[in-house]
Amino acid sequence: MIGSVTAFVLSLLIAIDVRPYLSRLDYILWAVLVLGVLIFVHEFGHFLVAKRAGVSVLKFSLGFGPKIAGFTRGGTEYLLSAIPLGGYVKMLGEDPKEEVVEVDRERSFSAKPLGWRSLIILAGPGSNFLLAVAIFWVVFMVGVPTLTTKVGEVMEGFPAREAGLLRGDRIVAIEGQPIEKWEGLAKQIHQSPGRPVRLTVEREGKRFDLAVAPKATKQKNLFGEEQEIGLLGIAPAEEFLTERMNPITAFGRAVYKTYDLSVLILITFGKLLQGVVPAKTIGGPLLVAQMAGEQARLGVLNLLFFTALLSINLAILNLLPIPILDGGHLFFALIEAARGKPVSLKKREMAQQVGLVLLLALMIFAFYNDIFRLLGRQ
């Protein structure tokens, strides 16, 4: 059964006192909404390509477990199931042990060429990537609020104060190159530990230059690795500019942003396997609920960014070569392409059992981490 796995069994919450978290029920509602959209897009990708290939789709389900509601149309049963943590598309002939009558064989998944079967498998994760691109495209056209280079605080014991920078100053250029966004300013300063940089500062309508050497400071990066960066000892003011892009530029930026985040997630996964990123950072449905609620409260743009990030994460998770996930199905397809014949049914069943055990172990571990976060022990 081709499907997606996004989060894990919420019923384990019975084991803890949830009363302190009842005020956060809106978080759960936002999580269900976000995950529902991602699951629908994922499964709809499988569904559309299967239909295009002429495969008979027997079931299209949002959620797992007992049926809550459903209807049948065009030979497909559309279901809303009780556990909103994933979904699946069941196709005719997808199960090798399933008997398909001769009249239906042409509409069977197993009877389709390897290329079509591979496209059907890839369509789910591919749809999640496309959703991320679409979200970023809209966001970049609408406009993203960005901090300006106006200084909000100058800290004691750092080069900025010693050089004479004041609260309310605006840094308009670095080494003669104009700069408007705090993000770009911080990036250049971080890359110059101990090396003097020339800042052009605007104060009360007048501009002047200051030579400042950012203080070399040891800090941990996103992956917990220690690195040396430069710090001036300044913080931004609460002043924003809105950067809007035309549709063509926004689309290019959206594609690059999706690619950039995909690479970041893959690097993070690699660091996790190396032990650089601690395993306690793995999260399950409760972490998703918490983050969805927090981003929703910060505004629509934040929630959209979070949804796009989660969509990319879901796509990559499902492409992992673990039997039972899309990546596992694709892995068997690649072996079939190399060998010229499919992997035996017995070997596929054994691999899927191992994959199911690994996936369940990961789910339980992620949920364990979620509970300890809620209890404040991480």
Can you give the residue ranges of every domain in the chain? Answer: 2-143+246-374, 145-243
pLDDT score of 34: 84
pLDDT score of 99: 62
Q: Of these residues, 43, 153, 225, 226, which one is catalytic?
A: 43
pLDDT score of 268: 79
Fold of the domain built from segment(s) 145-243 = Pdz3 Domain (2.30.42)
Query: What is the C-alpha separation between 42 and 2, in angstroms, rounded?
Result: 10
**Is-catalytic flag, 43?**
yes
Q: Is residue 154 classed as helix, strand or coil in its secondary structure?
A: strand
What does each of the 378 residues of the chain score in pLDDT, given as a tens digit? 555 544 333 333 333 334 444 445 566 777 778 888 888 999 999 999 999 999 999 899 988 888 898 899 988 999 888 877 678 888 887 766 666 665 567 888 888 899 999 999 999 999 999 999 999 999 999 988 888 999 999 999 899 999 889 999 999 999 989 999 999 999 999 998 989 999 999 999 899 998 999 998 888 766 667 788 889 999 999 888 888 899 999 999 999 999 998 998 888 777 777 766 666 666 655 566 666 667 767 778 888 888 998 899 889 988 988 887 888 889 888 888 888 888 777 787 787 777 777 777 777 766 666 666 666 655
DSSP 358: H
pLDDT score of 378: 53
Q: Are 88 and 64 in contact (CB under 8 A)?
A: yes
Q: Are 201 and 171 in contact (CB under 8 A)?
A: yes
pLDDT score of 21: 42
Q: Tokens 């049914």: give the residue.
A: 345
Q: How many CB atoms lie under 10 A from the CB of residue 257?
A: 21
pLDDT score of 149: 92
pLDDT score of 70: 86
pLDDT score of 281: 63
Query: What is the C-alpha separation between 81 and 363, in angstroms, rounded?
Result: 20
pLDDT score of 280: 64
Query: What is the C-alpha separation between 23 and 322, in angstroms, rounded?
Result: 37
pLDDT score of 220: 74
Structure tokens at 241: 């500019």
Q: Is residue 240 classed as helix, strand or coil in its secondary structure?
A: strand
How far is the CA of 335 from the CAs of 84, 178, 321, in angstroms?
A: 33, 54, 12
pLDDT score of 251: 96
Query: What is the C-alpha separation between 243 and 151, in angstroms, rounded?
Result: 20
Query: What is the C-alpha separation between 371 and 14, in angstroms, rounded?
Result: 11
